[in-house]
Amino acid sequence: MSSVRRCSRTACGRPAVATLTYVYADSTAVLGPLATYAEPHCYDLCAEHAERLTAPRGWEVVRLAAEAGPLRRSSDDLEALANAVREAARPQTPRQGRAPEGESTEAGRRGHLRVLRSPDN
């Protein structure tokens, strides 16, 4: 079995370079870079068929640009992710004093769960 995916069009044996997906609810055909793995409701297309693709009348074709190489994360992305994780892990201090009427205060925090005090307490 070949590891190269082929164009889904009948009688076309060229290698696939793009994946076509239909969004029926929006009457849209989305053509993007070749998906990581083949899915049953998506169509892999060669360069020629991807370029010549047209949609039915009343439908829109959305063409997603292929990246010019493998996706790379910059140091800014990694730093932003690390900061978000640190912020989520930081213990939250309960507000001082009484909460406004009808509003509860945070009594404690463990991971992503919070214990809220009732406004009556």
User: Residues 59-68: what's their mean pLDDT?
Assistant: 80
pLDDT exceeding 70 applies to what percent of the chain?
A: 56
For residues 24 and 52, give the distance between their C-alpha atoms in angstroms, rounded to a whole number: 20
SS3 (DSSP) at 49: helix
97 — pLDDT class (breaks 50, 70, 90)? low
* pLDDT at position 16 over 90: yes
36 — pLDDT class (breaks 50, 70, 90)? confident
* pTM of the predicted protein model: 0.53
Residue 110: strand pairing partners: 113
Give tens-digit pLDDT for 75-86: 666 777 777 766
